[in-house]
Amino acid sequence: MKIAFASTDNVHINDHFGWCKCFYLYELAGGEWRFVKALEAKDEIAEEIDKLGYKIERIKEADILCAAQIGPRASLMVKSAGIFVLKSEKENKPIEAMLCDIVKLANENPPLWLKRFL
């Protein structure tokens, strides 16, 4: 499964989906993860719907989006694109800690949303 993180530094989950200038894509397989690539997302589009559509297009490889914040309209649009939205429960949570949490969930008792990616 691939997870796109909204981050300003590729260390912490600390960016808002709609304002994010670069998403960081990780792949999780067999209890291990690896950084895949940075997905730049320019913030030059004025119209909100167009901007959100562009951001979703940038992360289309991802199965899951993890962001510090995401608005309700954006969340619905991301979900409609087939990407699961996972909001970080802690401000500035390290990406590595979230990956560890997901691996732990997958190995113990995965919720339904996670089972579809395993």
Q: What is the pLDDT of residues 41-51, one digit of tens each?
A: 987 788 888 99
Q: Which CATH superfamily is domain 2-115 in?
A: Dinitrogenase iron-molybdenum cofactor biosynthesis domain (3.30.420.130)
CA end-to-end distance (rounded Å), the chain: 7
Both tokens assigned to 39: 């997905």
So where are the chain's domains?
A: 2-115
What does pTM read for this prediction? 0.94
Identify any residues that bridge with 5 across adjacent strands, giving them in sequence order. 24, 66
57-93 pLDDT tens trace: 999 999 999 999 999 999 999 999 999 999 998 889 9
